[in-house]
Structure formats: C-alpha cells, structure tokens
Amino acid sequence: MSKPSLARGTRDFGPEQMAKRTFIFDTIRRSFQRYGFLPLETPAFENLSVLMGKYGEEGDQLLFKILNSGDFSGKLTDADWQAGSKPLTTKISEKGLRYDLTVPFARYVVMNRGTLAMPFKRYQIQPVWRADRPQKGRYREFYQCDADVVGTDSLLCEAEIVMLLHDILPALGITDFTVKINNRKILTGIADMIGAHGMEGPLCVAIDKLDKIGKEKVVEELLERGFASDSIDKLEPIFSLSADEDPFTELKSWLGESEVALKGIQELEEVWAMVKILGLENAKIEFDVTLARGLSYYTGAIFEVKANNVQIGSISGGGRYDNLTGTFGVPGISGVGISLGVDRIYDVMEELNLFPESQKTSTKVMISNFDEEAFTYGLSILPKFRKAGINSEIYPDSVKLKKQLDYADRKSIPFVILIGSDEIQSGLLTLKNMKTGEQQKLKTEDIITLLNREDQ
C-alpha cells in the first residue's frame, strides 16, 4: 500500500525526546508527592455518559468518540438515519476517549467514596485526547499532569496549588512565568451587575482580548455578542482597573452590591494571605479579572499559568469546582485542582534551551566482538558488569572493529572493552576511553571498580 503516516495531531517520542520527557514527568511527580498527593490511573476511554455535558458545548464537540464494536449499524432503522447526525451518533457510539483527567477523577471519587480518606488528594499523569485542530503547542493527543484535592472547601488548597506551581516550574528551569488567578464568582457578579445575568461566558471571551485588540474592539465585540450598550458602559471600571495598586479594594467598591462577587474577592484575598504565611518568596501571582477559562465546571478560583517570552498558550490551568460529583449523583463534594501540560512545557523548555545536558541513560560499556573465541569470552564476563549495576552490552556480530566503535560512538557509549587472543591469554582486557582515546590493560574486576567510580 502507501507509506505509513502518523494520525493527525499525534507524535512519536524517540529515545532523545523520551529522556527529556521523563525528566519533566519525574520532576512533576516528585513535587506532587512532596505535597501529599497519591497516584491514580483511570482508563483511556469512558462511557460517553460520563464525559458528555461536562465541558460545555465546545468540549462535547471535541470528544473523540469510539464506534460501537460489532454490527453497529445493523440495528438502525430508516428513522434513525433520517433523525440527523446527533441522535444517530448516540446510537452508534457509547464510549469516548478521555478529554481531561478531572472528570474521570470525579467519577472515580463517586464510585469509591466509601473507601477514600477525605479530603482525598490524588495526582494523575496520563494522556488525554481532543479532536481539536492541531497548531503550535496544540496536539490531539497530549499528556496532562493533574493534582486535585476533593472533600474540603478550605482555601488552603488554592494556596497550595500556587505553592506547588512555584515549586515545579523553577525545578524545570522555567523561572519566568506568571500564575494568573481569578474567581468565577467575581465574573458572575460582574455579569449580574451590568444586567446580563448568566452571560459571563461570552463576556469574558471578549474582555480577555483587551490587551490584544484594545478597548474599542472589545466594545464592538460585546455589541455583536448581544450586550446592551448601557450594560457595556457599566463595564468601564474593568477597563481602567490597574493591577498594581490593590485591585481588590477597587473591585469591592465597584461590586459592593453583589454578594457573590464580594465572596469571590474575599476568597482570593484569603488565598493571597495564606500564600504569604506559607512564605512564598518571589511570588509570580497576578490577579486578572479577564481570566475566564471555558471549562464549564469551575465555580470558584480559576488559575492559568503562562510562560513569559515564549509564543505558546498556557502551560497549566485549573480551578475549583464545587459540584462536579453532583452530576454523578453525589452532591456536596468540593474539589480544586491544577493541570500541567507536559507537551507545552516541553516546547517551552526546548525553545528556551532549559533541558540539562546529559539526560541520556544509555550503555556505559560495550564489549567488542572480534571473533568467535573473543565473543564467547565476552559473553562470560558480560553478566559481571550487569550484576555490578553497570549498563553494558556486547556487540552481537563479529564485524570490523571500525564498525563496532562507530556504533559505540553514535550511541555515546563512553567505554569499550577490546578482547582478542592476547587479552584472553593474559586476562588483562583493553579498556578504551572513547572520549580521550586512551587505552589501558586491566582485569575485569578492576574495570568494574573503575566504571563504578566513574559514576560519582
């Protein structure tokens, strides 16, 4: 047939990339564990009833659906075919690939609530899938690293997420970043305030572009989106809101009549205060009224992390959701969490050249294969290296030394052991340092101690 190709928006990760990705995963996992989060994994696919309706209309469209197995179309009637694609889809597809890690987590909590120690803190590092159109920093299969706490309303969780981010990102070398924070309650309050109850979604989408397209265009867009012009006039304070001098006080006087908004502001102030007590130095947190986030399940604080000086979307996002388990029949469990996008973090680190050098965990020593006798001898000593914890291999074919050394060179193997008749007779093997080209004759045991010493 034709040449093979990758499915759109997917990638392979070769050995070199894997070394870098592993570095990211390990760093994140270590931080998660340091904050008391426990590991969890859930299936790649879920019943669509679990997934649908949790991410808003946009999200539902981006779900990868799995065709029912077997004769999925055999039972369909003419009426089904004519009913249109939406009802038809529900008949032929019952499962879908997970869209994020939060909803499957909520499902897990509901199903296991009797056995979990509440509040329950879990972390989860797995791929998710979205039928999005690929772009820079946007893939159809990508990894998320989530940490969530459920079963407590305490704003400590929000504060800890801030701490966690300030722990992980610098550990990866990303020091220039901004943690933007807002609160859905404030947005709700604003929408009420201007007489556009429940319209905070479209409102935020437009306001979010303020620094990009300017006030006039934003007003234009708001009109297009159906906001009354006297409503827009009432938004004036937002346009002039300054981040520098205590935005909360300004907001409070403006939104004083809105109970929800005041609650939201108060929550954020408390988070700020707690972060201060926790002793965060060099805090890179910033209040941003225009931060909205589309996922419809957030109800309290919302976060977004942006790496500065890099042309890429946010590398992390999250927030509090008061009633996610409510949709699964168990109300009253509040949760808050953060999700880090490994693939974007990778791109950021690549662009800023932040990966530490030698990430390779490759072979430490290779035994050459001169002829059959030497090969047999090599086979007898190879296990000694492995038992001593030294990554080692023997060249499988008895080809020219040139080729074998070339192989070692390409694989960046630092040492090669040359064995010929002389070496077999004397028991003194030739150890070649591939970097310096130096060679010395040593006993097997001495080579082992030498190589082990090298690691320190």
Where along the sequence are the contacts to RNA (CB under 7 A)?
Answer: 2-3, 5-9, 56, 58-59, 62, 100, 130, 132-140, 142, 144, 205, 209, 212, 292-295, 304-305, 311, 313-317, 339-341, 343-344, 370, 400-403, 405-406, 408-410, 418-423, 430, 432, 434-437, 439
What CA–CA distance (Å, rounded) separates 259 from 144?
Answer: 35
Question: Which of helix, strand or coil describes residue 148?
Answer: strand
Q: For 143, left (φ over 0), alpha (ψ -120 to 50), or beta?
A: beta
What CA–CA distance (Å, rounded) separates 19 from 23?
Answer: 6
Least spacing, CB of residue 262 vs RNA, in Å: 25
The residue length of the chain stands at 456
Tokens (6 digits) for 238: 């937002």
Beta carbon nearer to RNA, 136 or 387: 136
Q: How many CB atoms lie within 10 A of CB 323?
A: 15
Least spacing, CB of residue 334 vs RNA, in Å: 18
Q: How many CB atoms lie within 10 A of CB 342?
A: 18
Tokens (6 digits) for 313: 């979307």
Least spacing, CB of residue 355 vs RNA, in Å: 18
Beta carbon nearer to RNA, 296 or 323: 296
Beta carbon nearer to RNA, 254 or 346: 346
What CA–CA distance (Å, rounded) separates 323 from 106?
Answer: 10
Beta carbon nearer to RNA, 37 or 346: 346
Least spacing, CB of residue 83 vs RNA, in Å: 19
Beta carbon nearer to RNA, 171 or 428: 428
Beta carbon nearer to RNA, 125 or 274: 125
Q: Are 20 and 346 in contact (CB under 8 A)?
A: yes
Beta carbon nearer to RNA, 62 or 76: 62
What CA–CA distance (Å, rounded) separates 262 from 299?
Answer: 14
User: How does strand 141-150 pair with strand 335-341?
Assistant: antiparallel
Least spacing, CB of residue 406 vs RNA, in Å: 4
Least spacing, CB of residue 205 vs RNA, in Å: 3
Q: Are 285 and 181 in contact (CB under 8 A)?
A: yes
Least spacing, CB of residue 289 vs RNA, in Å: 15
Q: How many CB atoms lie within 10 A of CB 411?
A: 14
